[in-house]
């Protein structure tokens, strides 16, 4: 069943200004279910939320939905074309002053969990 995908689509479309641009791909492998999501670039801030809290909450809810269906569900939010979303701060950076490659959106959110 794709209840996890339907749930994610319902929640995300309720949050964004461009619901027709929400795209969710679902794949299953030995690690569990991976939901990969694309949204309109202007909606990235709404999905991520302040300090990544909205994205964390969505991921938590997806894990609960997955547990109910005996599946491990993970969410990957794809960056919009052009990199870091062109936000007010000109990108997130990596916070440690080094000049390494920019982090992906998921890496930056994972750093916030620490």
- 3-112 fold: GMP Synthetase; Chain A, domain 3 (3.30.300)
pLDDT of amino acid 80: 79
pLDDT, residue 78, reads 92
Q: The pTM is what?
A: 0.69
Structural domain boundaries in the chain: 3-112
Question: How wide is the angle at C-alpha 26 spanned by C-alphas 21 and 28, nearest 5°?
Answer: 170
**pLDDT: is 76 or 88 the higher one?**
76
Instruction: Convert the pLDDT of each residue in 84-97 to its tens digit.
Output: 544 444 444 444 44
């Amino acid at each position: 069943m794709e209840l996890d995908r339907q749930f994610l689509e319902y929640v995300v479309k309720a949050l964004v200004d461009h619901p027709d641009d929400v795209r969710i791909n679902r794949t299953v492998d030995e690690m569990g279910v991976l939901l990969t999501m694309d949204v309109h670039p202007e909606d990235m801030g709404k999905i991520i939320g302040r300090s990544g809290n909205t994205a964390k909450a969505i991921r938590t809810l997806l894990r609960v939905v997955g547990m109910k269906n005996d599946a491990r569900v993970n969410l990957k939010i794809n960056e919009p074309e052009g990199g870091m979303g062109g936000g007010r701060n000109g990108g997130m950076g990596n916070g440690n002053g080094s000049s390494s490659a920019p982090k992906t959106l998921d890496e930056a959110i994972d750093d916030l969990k620490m």
